[in-house]
């Protein structure tokens, strides 16, 4: 049994049989570590005993295969169903499996809608507690298509502390609200740096912007993840477990707190306890 309580999003299993929750991980701009956070969420939930899938829906720049260490893998097909690749306790599907590594994807909206529809309808996800969906940055076709296809559990918006990043994050958040997608919360990535020799914290890009935005917009702050060399090395090496196993106590605690708050925010949303949301997870 999972170490965390798992609830179920009403109506989702009608579209994705066996899947209890579908969580979109998005950002207003590129370069904020959205895919790293998506991999962290998937692996972190799996480490708690949950059954987790990770869908890389960033059709233009799929990086999940690299982050999960499965770039050379190719999914198989059984009875017209695509079987995801297993890695680090997570079932993974990505556009990156379907194209050559350096090939650019130059598609218009209808083609993007078609491949997203295929990922949703033809992948054999099996029984999942959580399906984490890594979206492309911005407010384009993919989140719109997903919101039309699925009753998403909610969205997580990733940002960094800089003002320009926060402005774009707020636009992404507003997009989800317009699509009637519940906002599970904001997570601030590259929030600060902990010097390994002195344990002193440095606010390289500023700090606390996500907390202020979350308060102003009345959405949960799910976490503040620091800059850490082990996270970067783990991403390059395809070992996302490093964020939990090879970091300092401060970074590990921040990652684990993010996972716990995310799971709790999902449960609060599913149980309809919106009035108690901020009190429970901030």
Which tens digits make up the pLDDT trace of 125-135?
999 999 999 99
| Number of C-beta neighbours around residue 269 at 10 A | 20
Average pLDDT over every residue of 8-33: 92
Average pLDDT over every residue of 28-45: 92
Average pLDDT over every residue of 186-212: 89
Residue 282 binned pLDDT confidence (cut-offs 50, 70, 90): very low
Could you tell me the two tokens for 84?
């995801």
Query: The CATH number of 23-269 is which of 2.170.270.10, 2.120.10.30, 3.40.50.300, 3.30.750.24?
Result: 3.40.50.300
131 in helix, strand or coil?
A: strand
d(CA 218, CA 123): 36
Residues forming beta bridges with residue 193, ordered by sequence position: 202, 227
pLDDT computed for residue 18 by the predictor: 95
45 CB-near residues (< 8 Å, 6+ apart): 4, 52, 129, 130, 132, 259, 262, 263
Average pLDDT over every residue of 133-142: 82
d(CA 147, CA 74): 28
Question: pTM to 2 decimals?
Answer: 0.91
pLDDT computed for residue 99 by the predictor: 67
Quote the mean pLDDT of the chain. Answer: 87
pLDDT computed for residue 273 by the predictor: 39
* N-term to C-term CA, the chain: 26
Torsion of CA 84, 89, 90, 94, to 10 degrees: -60
242 in helix, strand or coil?
A: helix
Query: Helix 109-122 crosses helix 141-149 at what angle (to 10 degrees)?
Result: 40
- Helices (H) then strands (E): counts for the chain: 11, 11
Q: Measuring CA to CA, which residue among 47, 37, 27, 24 is closest to residue 226? A: 37
pLDDT computed for residue 106 by the predictor: 60
Residues forming beta bridges with residue 156, ordered by sequence position: 25, 185
């Amino acid at each position: 049994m999972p170490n965390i309580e798992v609830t179920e999003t009403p109506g989702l299993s009608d579209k994705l049989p066996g899947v209890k929750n579908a969580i979109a991980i998005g950002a207003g701009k590129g370069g904020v570590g959205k895919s790293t956070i998506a991999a962290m969420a998937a692996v972190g939930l799996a480490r708690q005993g949950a059954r987790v899938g990770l869908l890389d829906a960033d059709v233009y720049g799929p990086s999940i295969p690299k982050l999960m260490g499965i770039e050379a893998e190719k999914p198989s097909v059984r009875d017209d169903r695509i079987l995801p690749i297993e890695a680090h306790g997570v079932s993974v599907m990505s556009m990156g499996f379907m194209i050559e590594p350096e090939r650019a994807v130059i598609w218009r909206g209808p083609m993007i809608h078609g491949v997203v529809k295929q990922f949703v309808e033809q992948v054999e996800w099996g029984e999942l507690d959580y399906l984490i969906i890594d979206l492309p940055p911005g407010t384009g076709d993919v989140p719109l298509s997903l919101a039309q296809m699925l009753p998403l559990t909610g969205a997580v918006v990733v940002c960094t502390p800089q003002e320009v990043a926060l402005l774009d994050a707020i636009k992404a958040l507003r997009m989800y609200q317009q699509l009637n997608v519940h906002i599970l919360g904001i997570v601030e990535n590259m929030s600060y740096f902990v010097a390994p020799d002195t344990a002193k914290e440095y606010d390289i890009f500023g700090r606390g912007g996500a907390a202020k935005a979350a308060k102003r917009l009345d959405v949960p702050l799910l976490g503040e993840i620091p800059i850490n060399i082990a996270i970067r090395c783990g991403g390059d090496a395809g070992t996302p477990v490093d964020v939990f196993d090879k970091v300092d106590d401060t970074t590990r605690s921040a990652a684990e707190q993010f996972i716990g708050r995310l799971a709790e925010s999902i449960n609060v949303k599913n149980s309809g306890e919106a009035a108690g949301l901020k009190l429970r997870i901030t």
